[in-house]
Chain A
Amino acid sequence: MSGNAVYRPDANEALLTLVNVYKTFPVRASFFSAEEVRVRAVDGVSLSLQPGKTLGLVGESGCGKSTMGKLAIRLLDPDSGTIRFEGKDMARLAGEELRGMRRRMQIIFQDPYSSLNPRMKVQDIVGEGWFVHGLARGRELRDKAALLLERVGLTAEARNKYPHEFSGGQRQRIGIARAIALSPRLIVADEPVSALDVSVQAQILNLLKGLQEEYGMAYLFVSHDLRVIRHVSDHVAVMYSGKVMELGPSEELFSRPSHPYTRSLLSAAPMLGGAPAEHIVLSGDIPSPVAPPPGCRFHTRCFRARKFCSECSPLLREVAPGRFAACHFV
């Protein structure tokens, strides 16, 4: 076991820091029982995100990455832990102060169909933030909406239409326009291209990159797609069963993964730079988030697991400068 420093998010320059964040959801144990059990969606996660950078959150479905995204901009409240945005403790914000803060953090959703109100015109969808914050109304709102829609690759005429008149990719552009309308500092992109055709995915990813260069906002980019994460991220956090398994700069993490879980993930994605160096096939399923295994969450499927992996939970420790992994063996 290494005795290196445990990961501590750097709060000084960071735009967003999460320290020991926990989030559980109540579920009924079974249809007939009144007993309530709790799904541990996010189980002690610490992360930080620098202004203007992209942090990729990758993991299997159900690992808690989307919950992380919603926690980060306080669409959900954590059970415990601290979330700081621009140095402010998000949990302390309420009422008008929180509403004001919402201008600085936005979200792009996975499903371009359910994310747009079918009964609203596009100009009212993208201009909602301007309207509710009293920044633009009436003609001014319409003019600004036209410019914004052109910026995301749609025509100005799109503003008078309704969402159902657009394709999935176009609808995602509308969702992006809404997210950037208030010039936020942080955008949570929750699987923004997963529902799109591969050809459209590239267009949307390039649009997101272009917007980041132009406006300098940070992305918390949630995806299960390793290629997408590699393409957009500066840093990557690999999540498994509610915990961060590995964290580090994108290129290094992808070229030399250290955690067994990351290595098995990458070996399952051969399109990354030709043939994979190793071929690891995991057996079993992702553990139940209701009753996660003791010790290391990954030990039930890990090819390096030893007995004490099921007894002692590894901390996220520095394994190389700037690189962290939660494993006893690296």
Chain B
Amino acid sequence: MSGQSMFADTLRRLSRNPLAVAGAVVILFFLVMALFPKCFSEHDPNRINILRILDPPSARHLLGTDDLGRDVLARMVYGARISLSVGFVAESIAIGIGLIVGLLAGYYGGRADAVLMRFVDIMLCFPSFFLILSVVAFIGPSIWNIMIIIGITGWMGVARLVRAETLSLKERDFVVAARAQGAGAARIMFRHILPNTLAPILVAATLGVAGAILVESSLSFLGIGVQPPTPSWGNILTAGKDNIEFAWWLSLFPGLAIFVTVLGYNLLGEGIRDAVDPRLKGR
């Protein structure tokens, strides 16, 4: 066995879980779509055609057109890029903050721990969606603002997770040994503790991306997320809601995309959790 084999082991267990594989396939499909939109639709997502307003799905427009005559498939394909990158970036920000806060609180303990964890409690007191709403209303909607706000309102779970892991890891002999060797606090935290918390973080991150995509869609649906004409699954859905009596395709497909993507991330996340540590199964 080599060092890579722990990873290979996990991957093997993951590949035996059909739900996780299904989740991974869905994610991969949308990732490819986000990276190579031209392969999925030759239409320009922002090209308005007033002669073809609210056309139902046809050979020319596979998923129909919207109220401005734009191709829905093209908008969804380019919207995938927006929705997925908001999910990734927002969750990366959340993981980054959560990691640092959790490591510091867990490693230093005592007063630092008390202050940081009370701050986490305070952050959790706000209904996060309304917090996001009011902050967005304050600083104005843009893709970057959305990413940052979802990130800085979503790190608390990760912080608690990392803190709990750090608390148990810092008592382990290999961490004591590192201290005995003369390693400093930063080295112990980032070289010894952090790598051993990565498995639960990966699970949290995967599930977190799903959450972030959902929040972005909700914000865009409410009109304070990604602003038109930039397509995102959420704002395509908004356009759909006004015409839902005559143009079902405008609501169904973006809704389905959000649903399937979030489901995919959740299935993969749970699959990874079971695969990295079979003992955690069902927890």
By a beta-carbon cutoff of 8 Å, the part of chain A in contact with chain B is 70, 73, 75, 99-100, 102-103, 105-107, 109-111, 114-121, 125, 128-129, 132-133, 161-162, 164-165, 175, 178, 182
Contact = CB atoms under 8 A, between A and B. Distances in A.
A128 B173 contact: no
A37 to B, nearest CB: 20
Contacts of A117: 174, 178, 192, 195-196
Contacts of A119: 195-196
A102 B173 contact: no
Most buried by B among A118, A128, A161, A182: A128
Interface in B169-186: 172-174, 176-184
Nearest to A74: B180
Interface stretch (B1-9, B64-72, B236-244, B253-261): B1-9
Nearest to B1: A165
A161 B177 contact: no
B187 interface: yes
| Closest 3 pairs (CB-CB, A-B) | A102-B182, A115-B173, A119-B195
Contacts of B174: 114-117, 125
15 contacts: A70-B176, A75-B180, A102-B182, A103-B182, A105-B180, A114-B172, A115-B173, A117-B192, A119-B195, A120-B195, A128-B178, A133-B182, A162-B2, A164-B1, A178-B177
B6 A102 contact: no
B183 A107 contact: no
Given A109-B177, A117-B174, 18 more contacts: A75-B180, A105-B180, A106-B180, A106-B181, A109-B173, A109-B176, A114-B173, A114-B174, A115-B174, A115-B177, A117-B178, A118-B196, A121-B3, A128-B177, A129-B181, A129-B182, A132-B181, A182-B181
A107 B176 contact: yes
B181 A75 contact: no
Contact of B184 (A111, A121, A132, A165): A132
B3 A161 contact: yes
Contact of A164 (B6, B173, B187, B191): B6
B180 A162 contact: no
Nearest to A76: B176
A107 B180 contact: yes
Nearest to A98: B182
Nearest to A130: B181
B6 A132 contact: no
Contact of B179 (A75, A115, A162): A75
A75 B177 CA distance: 9
Most buried by A among B1, B2, B178, B195: B178
Given A107-B177, A119-B196, A178-B177, A100 B3 contact: no
Contacts of A115: 173-174, 177
A117 B177 CA distance: 9
Contacts of B187: 132
A132 B195 CA distance: 18
Contacts of B3: 121, 161-162
A161 B1 CA distance: 9
Contact of B182 (A70, A100, A161): A100
A107 B174 CA distance: 11
Interface string B1-19: 1110010000000000000
Contacts of A70: 176
A165 B172 CA distance: 19
B2 A161 contact: yes
Contacts of B172: 114
A162 B174 CA distance: 14
Contact of A111 (B173, B182, B183): B173
B61 to A, nearest CB: 52
A117 B80 CA distance: 40
Nearest to A115: B173
Nearest to B194: A119
A15 B192 CA distance: 31
Interface in B111-139: none
Contacts of B191: 120
Contacts of B181: 102, 106, 128-129, 132, 178, 182
Contacts of A182: 181
Interface in B1-57: 1-3, 6
A195 to B, nearest CB: 11
